[in-house]
Structure 1
Amino acid sequence: MDEGALPSEASTPVEVGGSANIELRHLRAYVALCEAENYTRAAVRLHLSQPALTRTIQQLERHLECRLIERTSRRFELTDEGTELLAHARRILADVDTVTAQLRSRAAIEIGFAWLLPATWLAATRRRYEALGGRITLHRVDDPLSALDTRAIDIAIYRRETQLPGHLRSRRIATEQRVLAVAATSPLAAATDLHWADLAGYPLVVNEISGTTHTDSWAPADPNRQIITCRNFDEWIELVAANRGIGGAPALARTRAPHPGVVYLDVPDAPPSHVYLAWRAKPDPPRAVQRFLGVL
């Protein structure tokens, strides 16, 4: 058959069983064919084989019980019914695409965090994203990266420096001054002129999952240092309050996470900590996530 030729009447009939409902794929195929005026070009545009496109159009004609395309010559020509359907099909597809885009743009992005969200960043990002019609929901989880990996959330906010698996991507969104957290009963609570290096020998409380301060926060790390481990912020702050060890936290902990048994101290030369945002990059993230990343 010539590239521009239409299937002949002798084409193998398509058996249609069950419901005779017209599907969007029928309409999309029909509109593409009408615009290309050629089965081969339309099939390429639709990423279909030409026989598959032919069968789809035949199905559509059987569902409608009328002929849509004239097959009496090598010219592409619609019947009256075909012309009428084309106008309606374009309107229907435009309506479907419009409402789909609108609903997707309002899809909620689920952000998981372990503790102390960077408030300024969140407020600005939420404002920009919601201006596009989207919504943000927040979920407190002990391990945001694990929750992201299991698809329990769309975006993870985390602070610990870590090597991500290949299907995840990250972006630094904030840098925070680090403060020292000590028990109110500790002799350090009244200390002045503290230096980060001077703290290297004290017992250290480490939140292994989402904490910002670990043995390698000092260089070189002391292999004999006493380490008290925990797995979330609530455990961490109670261990510090119990004077089990010192800890490090972002400076916003002073106002966002006050505790009667904990004193937060400035250490001018303390290394800053960073806040990261992670998302699933493989396979391609949903459009709502892509739109969210676009406002960062």
Structure 2
Amino acid sequence: MTAPTPASASGVELRHLRAFAAVARRRSFTQAAEELLITQPALSRTVAQLEMHLGVRLLDRSSRGVALTETGAEFLVHVERTLAAFEGALAAARGASTVRLGFSWLLPDPWAQRAIAGFERATGAQVELVRCDDPLDALDRQNVDVALVRGGRPVGSAVQTVHLYDEQRVAVHAREETEDGGREHVDAALRWQDAPEWTLVVNTASGTTGPWCWPDGNGPRRYVETANFDEWLESVAAGRGLGIAPNTAERRVHHPVLRFVPLTGAPPSPLRLAYRPETGTGSALLRRFLDAALEAAVTCTDAGQA
């Protein structure tokens, strides 16, 4: 493909931005076309028009797929913020009230159910659940108004957090096959202080346990990195290493190959809500959601369900 010819950006329309964002997210014209309910040729023409109007190449196309150029990656950040602001303006004009809650995996129960139900009853507004591999990144891009964050990783100075409660950690590993084709577990329990002996599978985007948990350098000597919860889960199931997760996973994950075992001496994993003070959702509405979230956290803690 030849480089786009510089032209006026005055012809850029919302449909161009939506088309580009869909392709950038999916890294595929085929999948993006299905998402937008248009034909692939029409989508290709729309993105090409955008590049022509801007006079830059946003995407690299090859037989291996689609990749963002350096300019395209920077442009995507602004496009997603623009689209989020546009949707927020439409919602405000319609009088709709919605708080978008970003989460990466397994909303903690029963906190989520109580917090959402309490907020919606009290305000008449709605909570939109947005599943994303990295909730903090979604918050930064303004794709969500508030993000559920697990573990003690730093969130950055521009983000404020509210602590809900702590989750207990458990260990998870693959069962070993027996001679008769069955599976049996390796350990009945594990100790946090034995971490240097582990090969630890880490979800680098939204995991609760990783190198940051051992700032003194006494953590595992070997790590297997994954980019999201599903990759983490299947890597542990494949026997590539040990996983550490909140006890919510033990209640909610049912995998024939995995076994959850107690982990003694492990520090608890904090559960927090992160938000940006300048969020596009009305600050009063966001505060009402935070209040409902904290109230639900108290009831879970009092009942011993946290």
Fold agreement, TM-score > 0.5? yes
Any runs of at least 4 consecutive aligned residues in structure 1 with deviations exceeding 6 A, and if so which?
none
Q: Return the offset for 1:269.
A: 2.1
Distance 1:139 1:217 in 2: 27
2:102 to 112, 123, 139: 112
After superposition, the Cα gap between the structure-2 partners of 1:134 and 1:158, relative to the gap in structure 1 and judged at 3 Å, is same
Distance 1:124 1:168 in 2: 25
Letter of the structure 2 residue corresponding to residue 140 of structure 1: R
Name the counterpart of 1:174: 165
Please identify, of 244-253 and 160-169, the stretch whose mean Cα deviation from structure 2 is larger.
160-169
Letter of the structure 2 residue corresponding to residue 183 of structure 1: A
Contact 2:145/2:280, CA 8 A, preserved across alignment:
no
Please identify, of 153-162 and 137-146, the stretch whose mean Cα deviation from structure 2 is larger.
153-162
Counterparts in 2 of 1:278-293, with a 5 A limit? Answer: 278-282=274-278, 286-287=282-283, 288-293=285-290
Name the counterpart of 1:294: 291
After superposition, the Cα gap between the structure-2 partners of 1:114 and 1:243, relative to the gap in structure 1 and judged at 3 Å, is same
1:125 to 106, 115, 123: 115
Q: Return the offset for 1:177.
A: 0.9
SS of 1:128's partner is: helix
* Unaligned runs of at least 5 residues, structure 1: 1-99
Name the counterpart of 2:249: 253
Letter of the structure 2 residue corresponding to residue 185 of structure 1: E
Letter of the structure 1 residue corresponding to residue 290 of structure 2: L
The superposition leaves residues 189-219 of structure 1 with CA deviations (integer Å, 9 ceiling, x where unpaired) of 3323532212431111111110011134347
Residue 211 (structure 2) pairs with residue 215 (structure 1): yes
The superposition leaves residues 200-245 of structure 1 with CA deviations (integer Å, 9 ceiling, x where unpaired) of 3111111111001113434743477111101100000111111111
Counterparts in 2 of 1:134-283, with a 5 A limit? Answer: 134-185=125-176, 189-218=185-214, 220-222=216-218, 225-282=221-278
SS of 1:148's partner is: helix
Contact 2:165/2:272, CA 8 A, preserved across alignment:
yes
For these two proteins, the number of residue pairs brought into alignment is: 196
Distance 1:124 1:208 in 2: 29
* Unaligned runs of at least 5 residues, structure 2: 1-90, 178-182, 294-306
SS of 1:200's partner is: helix
The superposition leaves residues 95-151 of structure 1 with CA deviations (integer Å, 9 ceiling, x where unpaired) of xxxxx99x75x6111111001111221112112211121111111100000101111
Please identify, of 286-295 and 179-188, the stretch whose mean Cα deviation from structure 2 is larger.
179-188
Structure exhibiting the larger radius of gyration computed from Cα positions: 1
Contact 2:109/2:248, CA 8 A, preserved across alignment:
no
After superposition, the Cα gap between the structure-2 partners of 1:194 and 1:266, relative to the gap in structure 1 and judged at 3 Å, is same
Please identify, of 162-171 and 220-229, the stretch whose mean Cα deviation from structure 2 is larger.
220-229
Contact 1:189/1:265, CA 8 A, preserved across alignment:
no
The superposition leaves residues 252-279 of structure 1 with CA deviations (integer Å, 9 ceiling, x where unpaired) of 2112122122111112322211111011
After superposition, the Cα gap between the structure-2 partners of 1:108 and 1:223, relative to the gap in structure 1 and judged at 3 Å, is closer
Q: Return the offset for 1:291.
A: 2.5
Distance 2:215 2:158 in 1: 31
Cα RMSD (Å):
2.7
The TM-score with structure 2 as length reference comes to 0.58
SS of 1:180's partner is: strand
The TM-score with structure 1 as length reference comes to 0.60
Contact 2:200/2:220, CA 8 A, preserved across alignment:
no
Letter of the structure 2 residue corresponding to residue 196 of structure 1: W
SS of 1:206's partner is: strand
SS of 1:171's partner is: strand
After superposition, the Cα gap between the structure-2 partners of 1:267 and 1:224, relative to the gap in structure 1 and judged at 3 Å, is closer
